[in-house]
Amino acid sequence: MSNILADISKDPRVLDIIHAALKEDIGTGDHSSLSCISDSKISAARLIFKDTGIAAGLNIAYVILKLNDPDVEIEVFKQDGDAVAYGDIGFTAKGKAHGLLKSERLLLNIMQRLSGIATVTRKAQDKISAYPTKVLDTRKTTPNLRVLEKWAVTAGGGANHRFGLYDMIMLKDNHIDVSGGISNAIQRAQQYLKDHQLSLGIEVETRNLDEVQQALDAMPVQRIMLDNFSPELTAEAVKLINKRCETEASGGITLDNIEQYAAAGVDFISLGMLTHSVKSLDISFKIII
């Protein structure tokens, strides 16, 4: 997994996030460390996983450490995307104590959340491993941290849905109701793409089989979302669509019932819980000398 995972720490957006977060945390200085530890003091620390899950954010931690101490020495034991268990060491770092202590909280905050996202994503994808269905994230992310959280989904083996409002047309219930129905919404979206010479996919949300048929009658669309359908109704909808476009199940799906939706034959299952209510993985960063 870690061999094909993109190194998100090189993304300029991530570097902007790190710089802003360090400024927020350090402010005029780490007065706790400045007041009692010599600037020349060299120490070592290790990152320890205290839970079972998927590691995510290690490369970001290295950037944070290097920004606070360019001379810090890091020995790597785990890679982003690796499975970890209680007691596993992700890396050790040796350098100025001030740099280690200034880095501690930010690298843990980022790693704990991203590893939590990667962990629940892996659990969801493993639940449906017998099927070709792919787990997707949503836009239910922490403001300004979307690039990190969506990357963490890929670290767990999932895939990304649209990144924002600009890279796909997604006609949800509110768009459809305001437009006067599915047919109107789709036709206007198709015309909009032509008028503005845009090449974007169109996804339309449906709430029942009648709306699925309306979407099919207004084709072409890239994907039909089946929102809050039961697994049984999802299977009926997939049969009705008959591979004329992609299918996505969403709403009311949990780790307990996700396999039923995959068995219904959908191409994708989107889960808001991957990012909006995930439990962070327990990780510590301990000074050892």
Q: Annotated catalytic sites, by residue?
A: 105, 140, 172, 205, 227
Q: How far apart are CA 105 and CA 285, in angstroms?
A: 9
d(CA 2, CA 7): 9
- φ, ψ for residue 118, nearest 5 deg: -60, -35
Q: CA–CA separation, 241 vs 211, rounded Å?
A: 12
Q: How far apart are alpha carbons 68 and 14 in whole angstroms?
A: 16
Measured distance CA(171)–CA(182) in Å, rounded: 8
Taking a C-beta distance cutoff of 8 angstroms, is the pair 131, 109 a contact?
Answer: no
3-state helix, strand, coil split of the chain in percent (to 5) is 45, 20, 35
Strands (E) in the chain, as ranges, are 42-49, 53-54, 73-76, 83-84, 89-96, 134-136, 169-171, 202-206, 223-227, 246-250, 268-270, 283-287
b/e per residue 248-275 (b: at least 16 CB within 10 A): bbbeebeeeebbbbbebbbbbbbbebbb
Q: Within 10 Å of residue 182's Cβ, how many Cβ atoms?
A: 27
In terms of Cα–Cα distance, which of 204, 256, 206 is closest to 234?
206
- Rounded CA separation 98/221 (Å): 56
> Within 13 Å of residue 28, how many CA atoms lie on the same side as its CB?
1
